[in-house]
Structure 1
Amino acid sequence: MAVIEGRLKVDKVQKWAEATENRIGKRIGFVFNDSVIMAPTVNCRIESGGFTINSPDKVLILEIYKSLKFGKATL
């Protein structure tokens, strides 16, 4: 399993916290290139701005990582 652990920029943390609070008990999807990569169920409000993306597809995770690192993705 390949994993990306990240943290949102400070100006995005409040929006993330509110979004996760509104989705408690429901799923939230991570979309990349028009495909759902994963859709975990939210258990609590996430105030840290932290997130984890994982997949058994290591090539896909590397592609997502490069996109995040070089600012091509929007969270």
Structure 2
Amino acid sequence: MGEGPLTRVLSVCGPVPPGERTSEPLDDRLRDDAALAEIELTSRLMIAASGAAEPLSQEEIDGLLGIAPDA
């Protein structure tokens, strides 16, 4: 497998270990896991796009978002 956007993102960000919190909110009642997940995905796309020499393909975007390719 070549040096694609996902590889570049993981080399910069590294994988997040299961169960590891990336930030500590002051009050867990205010925690919004859906919003945090969206922020994580958006961050990965921004990092990959900023390091790409040309626009990301739909396949690369799907890979970054964890979407399985059509069978």
Shared fold, TM over 0.5: no
Point out which structure has higher relative CO (alpha carbons under 8 A, 6+ apart). 2
Query: TM (normalized to structure 2)?
Result: 0.28
